[in-house]
Structure 1
Amino acid sequence: MATIGSLGDLHPTLALALELKRRGHLVTVASTGYYRDKVEALGLTFRALRPNWDPTDQNLIAQCEDLKSGPEVLFRKLILPHLRDTYDDLLAAAAEADLMIAGELVYAAPLVAEKLRLQWGSAILSPTSFFSAHDPSYLVNIPEVYRLRRAGWGINRAILEFGKLLSRHWWEPVRSLRRELGLRVACDPVFKDKFSPDLVLALFSSCLGAPQPDWPRHTLQPGFVFYDRHSPHKDDSPELADFLAAGDAPIVFTLGSTAVHNSGDFYDVSMTAARQLGRRGVFVGAKSTSTATSADFLALLYAPYSRIFPGASVIVHQGGSGTTGQALRAGRPQLIVPYGWDQPDNGARVERLGVGLCLARSAYSVQSAVEKLSQLLADRRFVTMSAEAGARIRKEDSLRIACDAIEALLDR
């Protein structure tokens, strides 16, 4: 099982890996070396994949989360220059495997599968990754075209084709490596090749994005699969349980595992907004001394979302797929402040679903946060719709369905 990215990418992989291990399979997780200790502590075999980047590097995260240029920075400066290294590492890790499951940023996966003639499946974590012309997403590098999402399939298909042409030069390192390895040279790493011809797992609920006619043929949508423990030996702290039990449901503020390292004034603004509203607050990932724990506020470097979100009045977060899934499952209203990638699209989908609101990162101020939070706290429709979505997601047997599909692929 191969994945590159943040904990939002690693955690679904761990959920699948642990269930497959429980079923008796030998599972190896190949990922960024930074995660070795976390993976091995779970009793899973780990193989490092280059590039050996630090997912807490503030400067790198700031570049990748620029709404306009972030995708190009990640692809052309971080991942693709190390494509040969990733290929070599993954080829060695998968040499004895019967099956490979790969995340979409592992652009070496289709090459390894072709070289080893290995069956493989792809794990897709958010609707925007499918680039559907029937259900257009908010694309961070061309946000203007989102206004055309209702213009019809033909217009949106043409926009996507134009996007392919604009980004085609990005993928010359993939074509070059394919030539070197004697593989087919024609490739489309983002719009086609990241989707396995054997099995595509859409690991998000149909609440967030329903299946579309232009999804790949072999797509199965189990829903979100969850893992959020900090370590196998430590759960949430007693102070968190005591705080949640000591008063009204707090507003929970978090920026996931990546944006938190480039948080700007998010936590300071959030604390001031909570004070003005007279609400208690929990700040997950907060490092600022101004968000020190007090009677009405609790600052934690980490807390399992599955334990803290259900007790929230509102959840304020960056809109990553994993965090959005946890908030949806908790059945609580959300305010999404996107920092990049799929986050603006997830925010737009949450708004359309009626379970929350979205506020641009550049517009997140004390005044705007108070206005949006007041709306979420006062309008019972958000509570009702969120509870309905949460009940639906909690009924989805996602982990079993996904692992059954993986086992079925093994048996072919």
Structure 2
Amino acid sequence: MRILIITAGSRGDVAPFTGLGRRLMDAGHQVAVAAHPSFAALVGGCGLDHRPVPGDPRELIRAWSRAASREEARALTRAYADGLADGVAEAVAGGSDLLLTASGPAPLSLTAGEAFGIPVVGTYLVPAIATREFPLPNARSTDGLGPEGNLAAGRDVLRRAEGVFAGAVTRLRAHLGLPAGASSAPVDVRPVFHGFSPLVVPRPEDWPSWAEVAGYWWPARPCGWHPPAELVDFLQAGPPPVFIGFGSMAAGQGERLSELVAAAVERAGVRAVVQAGWAGLSGRGDDVLAIGDVPHDWLFPRTAAVVHHAGAGTTAAGLRAGVPALPVPVMADQPFWASRLYRLGVAPRPLPFQEQH
């Protein structure tokens, strides 16, 4: 079977699908991943085909931070969605028998699947079906809402997500010759498999029967990967270090954050491995080593603790390694995962990124 996985966003929105894709490929399927051009090496390095979709998520995040108004930020998002729609349609037109879609581009994937007569299955990395048990990630309010409040907050999240792509879906339907007005909301994708552990987020009892929690899809290691010699030497030169990294967050804030990290490491009296990420963190001091992308499943078990932005994948890797975590959430679903870590008793209260100076 030819399977196309459609995703969009930062590295954390792509890496888990390399693991899912490799397992499907090992089962005998042909697998391609539609993702932004900046992830061609990540996808291809894991032995999967890459189909590009327009967009630069790093530049989009930077543009959001520079936007002079909420309307300007919305215009940037609409332009991103329009480009993504064209890319999804082209990727699907390249041929496939089954579409697996992340929750973000789900409205576009559903539209393209309808046009080309291809079934669509949801493969979501975050909870994306409203429930009475908790507010969905990105809810405007989360504390003490009660069952009905949780449900309402979740539905609001889904409405806002649908609104981001509404214009792009309308234009895509017209481009593909589909009748206007039909819904292409994420909730219309069925079935849906959620790629996180039921021990971290148990399946809500009020979810429909077509929604499941499947467990984490661990990112695949690039073919032939070996740890950098400098990192191996650093790990062997002293006690396990603390990992510090913010993934795809805080683009352009490397100088300020590097100074903050250096001061914190010195004050705590620990060694640290600092992952540059999109912020561009640097290592300062004899007890700090700066690194690029290193598979977390290899690195985290060799650390004493992990300080991170609480992205879904990094959160999962820390749990899998069994090391303490200090979550510093920045945006999107990160406060949700940070709160989960605290409630599980494996991390202290989250330290919101905006409060760190």
Smaller-chain TM-score bracket: 0.7 to 0.9
Cα deviation 1:198-224 (Å, max 9, x = unaligned): x31110112321101343431222211
- Residue 174 (structure 1) aligns with: 169
Contact preservation (8 Å) 1:61, 1:261: yes
Residues in 2 aligned to 1:64 and 1:326: alpha-carbon distance in whole angstroms? 28
Note the 1:142-291 alignment, pairs <5 A: 142=140, 145-149=141-145, 151=146, 153-161=147-155, 170=164, 171-178=166-173, 181-183=177-179, 185-187=181-183, 189-190=185-186, 192-193=187-188, 196-197=189-190, 199-227=191-219, 229=221, 231-256=222-247, 258-259=248-249, 261-264=251-254, 265-285=256-276, 287-288=280-281, 291=283
Cα deviation 1:139-170 (Å, max 9, x = unaligned): 36x2xx21233x2x223323444556667754
Contact preservation (8 Å) 1:80, 1:173: yes
Q: What secondary structure does 1:108 align onto?
A: helix
Shift of 1:274: 1.3
Shift of 1:225: 1.3
1:359 matches 2:348: no
Amino acid aligned to 1:12: P
Note the 1:388-399 alignment, pairs <5 A: none
Question: Judging changes above 3 Å, is the alpha-carbon distance between structure 1 residues 161 and 119 closer, same or farther for their aligned structure 2 residues?
Answer: closer
Shift of 1:78: 4.3
Choose the corresponding residue for 1:4, options 4, 8, 29.
8
Amino acid aligned to 1:187: S
Residues in 2 aligned to 1:210 and 1:246: alpha-carbon distance in whole angstroms? 41
Q: Which runs of 5+ in 1 are unaligned?
A: 366-412
Shift of 1:16: 1.4
Root-mean-square deviation (Å):
2.9
Note the 1:314-353 alignment, pairs <5 A: 314-353=305-344
Q: Which has the higher helix share?
A: 1
- Residue 391 (structure 1) aligns with: none
- Residue 38 (structure 1) aligns with: 42
Cα deviation 1:243-272 (Å, max 9, x = unaligned): 22222221110112x115344523321221
Note the 1:92-107 alignment, pairs <5 A: 92-93=93-94, 95=95, 97-106=96-105, 107=107
Normalised TM-score (structure 2): 0.85
Q: What secondary structure does 1:261 align onto?
A: coil
Q: Percent identity?
A: 25
Contact preservation (8 Å) 1:39, 1:46: yes
Normalised TM-score (structure 1): 0.75
1:21 matches 2:25: yes
Q: What secondary structure does 1:244 align onto?
A: helix
Amino acid aligned to 1:261: A
Shift of 1:69: 6.6
Higher mean displacement: 24-33 or 177-186: 177-186
Q: What secondary structure does 1:178 align onto?
A: helix
